[in-house]
Chains A and B, each alone.
Chain A
Amino acid sequence: MKKKDILKHELVPHHEILSEEEVKKLLETYKISKDQLPRIRFDDPVVEAIKAKEGDVIRIVRKSPTAGVSVAYRIVSREIL
């Protein structure tokens, strides 16, 4: 399957890379540091498809059965915890 195709799959929510300003704003609103964000692996198929680099923060817009739309964030990371 082509890399871009996976983004169309029902199970895959919308991913987008945050700009630096957005990241700053995000960390301020939640009063957290970058390493407190959930992670996504640098070799995750979606990360490769949207060409995100290590250290990027990704916004994930999930379809949620309870809230309709819910937004989550993950940081692209190499190390495995």
Chain B
Amino acid sequence: MSKITEKAMIKRGLSKKLAEKVASFYTLEELKKADVKELEKKFGKDLNKILKAVGREIELEKVKAKAKEIKKVKKKKAEKKETPPKKKKVSVREKIINIINKRNEYLPSNIIDEFVEKIEENNLTDKIDILVEKAIEEYNRHLMEPLEACGMVAAQSIGEPGTQMTMRTFHYAGVAEINVTLGLPRLIEIVDARKDPSTPIMTVYLEGAYRVNREKAMEIANKIEVTRLINIAEIETDISNMKIIIKPSLKSMERKNIEMDDLLKALKKLNKVEIKKGKNEIEIFPEKENENYRELRRLSEEVKNIKIKGIDGIKRAIIRKEGDEHVIYTEGSNFEKVLEIEGVDKTRTVTNDIHAIYQVLGIEAARNAIINEAYSTLQEQGLNVDIRHIMLVADLMTANGSIRPIGRQGVSGEKGSVIARAAFEITVDHLLSAARKGEVDELKGVAENVIVGQPIKLGTGSVELAINIKKFSKKVKK
């Protein structure tokens, strides 16, 4: 018996010695089923060849992968054991913070993080004092000077790349199959704080089982998306009998998870009609006194557009797989209602309707939304505008607790100075109304001082020097 095995093994490319050895332990059949670990013990380095001979290479790879994983885990564990130097980490950070506090200075936490990392990487713990001092010096040198015209810089920094945007504008690019306004029109929309974006969309993240399971995600998508009667039924108008016949398609009803009762419930909201339920169809008659052709046509239109399911405003919902989770993109937006649905992740779901975010999550969330939207709009066009400029714009728009547009109706139109307002837009109106009200201009801003011909109070122009003669004379005497 063992000779047969031996021959077979030689045929499969093993050396004679090895084949003999194998045959002494196993028959061919046994070899095919034997435990890989046991084989490894017996044959060591030759395991590879043997497994190949019996067509089990794949298994070998699995074993290898497992071994690698175990090694990794061991490594990780070892690393974890090594981490107690963490205590040191804390102390480096604390040292830095102590130095900063001692000198009564400030460094942002991002820089401190980087600092800690670099110091540990290069083992510079003993030079920490000098390094932090240098860092503070460098940081302070990069700060904006007080009274510098940061708004002007922001306007130019957003405006200049904006001119490049104009040329490629009015293009629509889509997330999945949804059209989204992009480029300059979108940027204008954000800065103007329009009440309704021209293409509202939502990104709905899911939680728990809904996140990984496509069917479950579909369930939510169906709950969100508006389904009208016309989407799931055939509607016919029978003129000779003065009635409307609805033939629901069972297939699409099942797909959308709608029961016959839901349908009838929705139909009951109709006024002045009689509903008869047949076997596979529903008949609707207008009331006797209203029985005419025009009424029937009107009714037919109304019936077609009856909402059976879904959230108002959401025209379409599309599921996309992103990494390991399913995300729903919607055309149309209704932030408040969607957040109420079970299974929707209430911490990540967002809309591009900034006013909706303001209403549901407050002014600070709206500020963040403005920054995100404006920044991603610019990024998407390949324009690298520093986020600080956009943050300044968002700060200004949200400074009074509500979202104010930049422009005539908002920030620029609410300036304190009459002359500054008149210099911006609709000059005559502003001057006339100011004259009627008897407004006073204190010439504190930029535009009015330029018009009047005085130095503006910005940068160096904002400093007024005066000599305290008493003190001065005392020093001279000494």
- Seen from chain A, the residues whose Cβ lies within 8 Å of a Cβ on chain B are 1, 5-6, 8-13, 15, 38-41, 44-47, 60, 62, 64-70, 74, 77, 80-81
Cβ of A45 to closest chain B Cβ, rounded Å: 5
Q: Confirm or deny: B113 has a beta carbon within 8 angstroms of a beta carbon on chain A.
A: yes
Contact (Cβ within 8 A) A69 B109:
yes
- Cα A77 to Cα B139 in complex, Å, equals 35
B400→A81 contact, CB < 8 A: yes
Cβ–Cβ contact B369 & A11, under 8 A: yes
A74 and B401 contacting across the interface, CB-CB below 8 Å: yes
CA distance A80 to B113 in the complex (A): 40
Identify the stretch in B234-242, B360-368, B469-477 within 8 Å (CB) of chain A at 4 or more residues: B360-368
Are A45 and B364 closer than 8 Å at their CB atoms? no
A68 and B110 in contact, given A74-B401, A81-B414 (Cβ under 8 angstroms): yes
A68 touches B113 (CB 8 A): yes
Binds A, one of B157-165, B211-219, B283-291, B340-348: B340-348
Q: Tell me if A's interface is mostly helix, strand, loop or mixed.
A: mixed
Task: With CB as the reference atom, state the residue of chain B lying closest to A58.
Answer: B364
Residues of B within 8 A of A60 (CB): 364
Q: Establish whether residues A8 and B347, one from each chain, have CB atoms under 8 Å apart when the complex forms.
A: yes
Per-position binary interface string of chain B over residues 359-397, scored 1 when its CB falls under 8 Å from any chain A CB and 0 otherwise: 111111100110000000000000000011001000100
Chain A nearest CB, measured from B439 CB (Å): 17
Our pick among B113, B360, B369 for the contact of A6 (Cβ within 8 Å) is B360
Instruction: Give the contact-size bracket for chain B.
Output: 20 to 34
- Which interface residue of B112, B336, B360, B365 has the most chain A CB atoms within 10 A? B365
Cβ contact within 8 Å between A44 and B400: no
- Any A CB within 8 A of the CB of B402: yes
- Are B368 and A13 within 8 A (Cβ)? yes
Q: Please, which residues of chain B bring their CB within 8 A of the CB of A5?
A: 339, 346
Give the contacting residue for A1; candidates B112, B339, B399; CB below 8 A: B339
Cα(A67)–Cα(B388), bound, Å: 10
- B421: shortest Cβ distance to chain A, in Å? 15
- Inter-chain CA distance A40–B401, complex, in Å, is 4
Q: Which single member of A1, A45, A46, A66 contacts B110 (CB below 8 Å)? A: A66
CA distance A70 to B391 in the complex (A): 12
User: Apart from A44-B363, A80-B400, what 5 extra A-B contacts exist at CB < 8 Å?
Assistant: A41-B401, A45-B361, A47-B362, A62-B368, A64-B108
**Partner pick for B364 among A62, A66, A69, A80, CB 8 A cutoff:** A62
Which of A9, A65, A70 has the most chain B CB atoms closer than 10 A to its own CB?
Answer: A9
Bound-complex Cα distance A37 to B387 (A): 23
Q: Give chain A nearest CB distance to B171 CB in angstroms.
A: 27
**Contacts A67-B108, A81-B414 given; does A9 touch B365 at CB 8 Å:** yes
